A and B are shown apart, each in its own frame.
Chain A
Amino acid sequence: MPKNFALVLAACIVLLVVCVLASLALGSKPLRFQEIMDGLFRSDVDSYSANIVRKRISRTVFSLCCGAALGVSGALMQAVTRNPIADPSILGVNMGASLFVVCGIAFWNISTANQYVWLALAGAALTAVFVFGIGSMGRGGATPIKLVLAGAATSAALGSLVTAIMIPRSYVMDQFRFWQVGSVGSASWGGIGTFVPFLAVGLLVGFLAAPALNALALGDDTATGLGVRTGALRFAAALAGVLLCGATTALAGPIGFIGLLSTHVIRLMIGPDLRFVIPMSAIAGAGILTIADVGGRLIGRPGELEVGVVTAFIGAPILIIVAMRSKVRSL
């Protein structure tokens, strides 16, 4: 166990609780303490402010789920690709999911969350394979710079397609606009219900794969020598990673940089052991996404700033820092 694991775990849980409380209490409409308490504990009160608080409960639960999913997804993708900057948004996976959802809305009249999920998953998986395929061509395998460029190029290509499909169809634009912003504000209990099975499967696979992924971090040869079936492991872990981020993207829209941010913060504190990094990334991701959502609500008053915008702003510096610190050769 890493030496200050207990301390970090305690700190993360305290922070998480603070985030949850903040998410319930703060928002574009300021509420008094009594109103919040009414909304939380007295189901017989049916005032405007009590309903706001109830809406915030589902929203908070949803953002916790999404954050955990994105944190673990980032950790898994980084472990599978053995690459410090793998993140659904950087790899263009979000944009792949977007394209499929737009096609669904435009050509097959799809409009429910259940149908979005499968389309987004397919788009995310295909894009992940495509980007990783391009990024790992040539000498040295999938280096950070190659992966980032492949992801950026693919994002740009898919982004133009999305716009081209959307511009002539105003009804698609109208429906897609709400999805594309990357927000947890539209959370409903039904949506959370759709999301939870994916989250559970993804997290389970992630936790189970962690010890073997530790071996993989030593290199394919060493891992094989230690009895790991590297191909099957890579496939399972990558699938879990795509499942987590695809499902999140389907329900919340594209939210970037959470995987990068939470994993790097956690690794900085407790070291590289994935048995601890993966679960802690879930907690950190949940906390960061929730606090980013609260921040977005406060900054954007009287409306709100979508959480995807906030996470990009606070997460992108991590990419810059990783780039600054890495040695030239490893780029």
Chain B
Amino acid sequence: MTNNHSTIALIMAGRRQRRGRWILVTSLLAVLACMLCCAMLMLGNTIYPVQDVIRALSGEQLKGVSFAVSTIRLPRMLAGLFAGFAFGIAGYTFQTMLRNPLANPNVIGITSGSSVAAVFCIVILQASGAVISIASVIAGLATVILIYVLSRGRSFSIGRLILVGIGIQAMIDAIISYLMLVSAEQDLPAAIRWLTGSLNGAQMDRLPPLMVTVLICTPIIILLGKQLNLLELGEQAATSLGVATDKTRIALIVASVCMIAIATATTGPIAFVSFLAGPIAKRLVGIGFSNIIPAGLVGINLVLAADLIGQFATPYRFPVGIITGLLGAPYLIFLLVRMNRKGEL
């Protein structure tokens, strides 16, 4: 009996410890994100002190400050904030659900699917705003379905899914090149800006769709967090633990593709954020707890930090997508090397 008690006590202690770590890491990430948000508002051609920023945000008209902060820096910060959060959570969801850090929207072509729809809307239909968002969500979901159908085969394998995804991505990229070719010259800058992933063009009136989507989809994914963690144990284990695997998967896919697609439609595909956020969060928090929120926070930190680096630490004002690409690609290679060594592929 006593033995049993002490085991339970040990488990409880471990649980408390892990929860403590989760709370600590999450709050640190949140604090860091807040600091980066403040930096985004304060820094620029002119550096404004905190009081001025707060006064400008609360509606006071200060010469120069109000325009710079409310019209330029605030939308930029909010776009980075929400897009980073969306990319982080959606990437983490895919990686966990498919049990492979490489199976994320960037690698298997879902982001490309959303991109091609958006470029089509910009270049051919001359559409904007809501139409682009809706089209990129639909195209993202269609890409997922296509990849899934093609990679089903006799038995499902992640390896096949990734190969098929890469093939689809190559085809979609070819279509994007074609669209760029036939586009009228005045639409080209919009399309190119859109494809590199940049916060430069963020405007307040384009943000509501992204905010609403994030606010709707995040709770859904968090509610399904337990099932998501069980899915990571494998199809059979999850089923026997009472998860309705198909329904859960569909709900998770729809929610995360919506977030990815809308975020992509707002800021463009910011490379590798959805890929990096999950593994980093897992490293920081450890296993045993849901890493959904930490992954989102890591995503925010990555995007905002990369944007600040791009704006101020380099001589050329690189767009955020370039910085995340330069940081993310070596990590991808590192991860591959490690997975190959362990024989996980």
A contact residues vs B (CB 8 Å cutoff): 85, 89-90, 134-135, 137-140, 143-146, 148-150, 152-154, 156-161, 163-164, 167-168, 256-257, 299-300, 303, 305-306, 309-310, 312-313, 315-320, 322-324, 326, 328, 331
Contact = CB atoms under 8 A, between A and B. Distances in A.
A324 B175 contact: no
A310 B271 contact: no
Interface string B154-168: 110101101110111
Contacts of A146: 336, 340, 345
Interface of B: 102, 107, 150-151, 153-155, 157, 159-160, 162-164, 166-168, 170-171, 173-175, 177-178, 181-182, 196, 271-272, 315-316, 318-319, 322, 325-326, 328-330, 332-333, 336-337, 339-343, 345
15 contacts: A85-B163, A153-B336, A156-B272, A158-B329, A160-B329, A168-B318, A299-B178, A300-B181, A309-B178, A316-B168, A320-B167, A323-B167, A324-B150, A328-B157, A328-B159
A316 B146 CA distance: 14
Contacts of A318: 167
A313 B271 CA distance: 23
A160 B271 contact: yes
A328 B160 contact: yes
Nearest to A133: B337
Interface of A is mostly: helix
B339 to A, nearest CB: 8
Interface of B is mostly: helix
Of B167, B171, B177, B337, the most chain A CB neighbours within 10 A belong to: B167
A320 B272 CA distance: 23
A149 B162 contact: yes
A152 to B, nearest CB: 6
Contact of A331 (B157, B272, B332, B337): B157
B342 A331 contact: no
B314 to A, nearest CB: 8
A17 to B, nearest CB: 28
Given A145-B345, A163-B325, A300-B181, A152 B166 contact: yes
B345 A160 contact: no
A326 B153 CA distance: 9
Given A134-B340, A138-B343, A305-B181, A313 B171 contact: yes
